[in-house]
Amino acid sequence: MSADGEFLRSVFKSMLRGRILENKLSSLYKAGKIVGGVYLGKGQEAVSASLGASLVQGKDCFAPLIRDQAGRTAFGEPLIDCTRTYLGSVEGPMKGRDGNIHRGRPEMGMPAMISHLGAQVPLIAGMLFAKRLKGTLDGCVGATSVGDGATSTGAFHEGLNLAAVEHLPLVIVVANNQFAYSTPNTRQFACEDLVDRAKGYGVGGHSVDGTDLLACASVIGGAVRLAREGGGPQMVVANLLRLGGHGEHDDGSYVPDSERNGKYGRDCIEVAIRQLAEGGIATVEEMAVWQDEISEEVQRAVAQAQQEPLPDPYKENWTALSTRFPISAE
C-alpha cells in the first residue's frame, strides 16, 4: 500500500467513526438520553477527517467546530471523550460543566470551542504565535474549521487578517454547507465564491468538492503541507451540503429538494466507499469489517459513559478561578 493509500484508509476510518458515533448520538438524543443539543457532521466527514488526519497530535494544534467529529477522531480524540461529554459523565474532559461539542483537550493542542463563531480563529493564531516565540514553530501547523456563516463574523475577519499579517501556518477550512442554521448563502454573503476572499486577505485559497474524499484528501492535505512548509495561512473552501438539520432538534425542512438532489447532496461516505474500492485501496468486504469493528467501539464508549457518575452539585468545586483568594501578604 502506498503512503497515499494508507492516508486515505485512515481518513476513511475516521469518517466512519464519525458517522457511526453520530448515528448513535442521534438515537440517544431521540430516546431522551442526551440533555441539550446534538450537532452532527453528517455529509461533512470527508472534509473534517481529511483535515484532522493531515495534522500531527503533539505538534500541531486543531480547533474543531460543531461538525468535526470525524476530524477530532482523526486528530486523536478518543471516542470516549465524546460520549462522556454528551452523556454528562464526570469522568469526561468537561466534567458536566460544558456539553456536547463544546469539548476539548487544550493540553493536547485541541482547545474547546465556544459557541461564538469565528472566535477560534485568533485563538489558534495565538497558539502558533506562542510556538514561534518559544522557538518550536518550525514544521507546525494550526488548523480550525468554520462554516459559511462564520465567514460573516468580525472574529473570522480579525483572526484571519492577523494570521496573514503574522504569516502564521494557519489552515482555515470553510465547510460551505450552503446554510447557516436556516439562513441560505444568498442572505449570508454577496461575493461570487468565498474562496475569492483569500486574495483579499493575502492568504492561499483553495476550493474543493467536499463530498469527494480523494479531492478533499488531496486539496486539504496539500493546504496543510503548504502551511507547514512556510507558505503562510491557507484557506480551503469545501463546498458541500449539510445532510441534516442544524442540530437534531431541527429537521432542516427549509433545504429545498433542488439542493438535496443537486451535486452536493450526495453522501460523502458512499462516494468514498466507491472511490476506495475502485482505486484498489480497500475492498468492500474490508470496509464492512471496519464498520462492524467501529460499531462495537461506539457501543463500548456509550456503555462505559452511561455507567459513570454524573456531576454532583454538592461535590462540585464552584469556583471559576484557579487562584485561591485571599492571598496572604508576602
Q: Given the rule CB under 8 A, which residues bind another protein?
A: 93-95, 97-98, 102, 104-107, 111-112, 114-116, 119-131, 133-134, 154-155, 158-159, 161-162, 165, 319-323, 325-330
Q: For residues 161 and 32, what is the distance between their CA atoms, to the nearest angstrom?
A: 43
State in angstroms the smallest separation of the CB of 297 from another protein.
25
State in angstroms the smallest separation of the CB of 1 from another protein.
36
State in angstroms the smallest separation of the CB of 177 from another protein.
24
Identify which of residues 19 and 105 has a Cβ nearer to another protein in the complex. 105
Is the distance from CB of 188 to CB of 152 less than 8 angstroms?
yes
State in angstroms the smallest separation of the CB of 220 from another protein.
22
- State the pairing for strand pair 179-180/183-184: antiparallel
State in angstroms the smallest separation of the CB of 321 from another protein.
5
Q: For residues 56 and 52, what is the distance between their CA atoms, to the nearest angstrom?
A: 8
Identify which of residues 31 and 320 has a Cβ nearer to another protein in the complex. 320
Identify which of residues 56 and 155 has a Cβ nearer to another protein in the complex. 155
Q: For residues 215 and 74, what is the distance between their CA atoms, to the nearest angstrom?
A: 17
Indicate the SS3 state at residue 102. Answer: coil
Residue linked to cell 480550525: 144
Identify which of residues 258 and 323 has a Cβ nearer to another protein in the complex. 323
Identify which of residues 155 and 271 has a Cβ nearer to another protein in the complex. 155
Is the distance from CB of 38 to CB of 26 less than 8 angstroms?
yes
Identify which of residues 39 and 156 has a Cβ nearer to another protein in the complex. 156
Look at the chain and count its residues.
Answer: 330
Q: For residues 324 and 326, what is the distance between their CA atoms, to the nearest angstrom?
A: 6
Indicate the SS3 state at residue 246. Answer: coil
State in angstroms the smallest separation of the CB of 164 from another protein.
9
What 8-state DSSP symbol labels residue 32? Answer: T
Identify which of residues 133 and 190 has a Cβ nearer to another protein in the complex. 133
Identify which of residues 142 and 221 has a Cβ nearer to another protein in the complex. 142
CB burial of 77-96 (b: ≥16 within 10 Å; e: otherwise) equals bebbbbbbbbbbbbebbbeb
State in angstroms the smallest separation of the CB of 133 from another protein.
6
Q: In what order do the strands lie in the sheet with 204-209?
A: 61-63, 142-147, 170-176, 234-239, 204-209
Residue linked to cell 468537561: 94
State in angstroms the smallest separation of the CB of 38 from another protein.
19
What is each CA distance from 169 to 166, 172, 230, 233, 234, in whole angstroms? Answer: 9, 10, 7, 5, 8
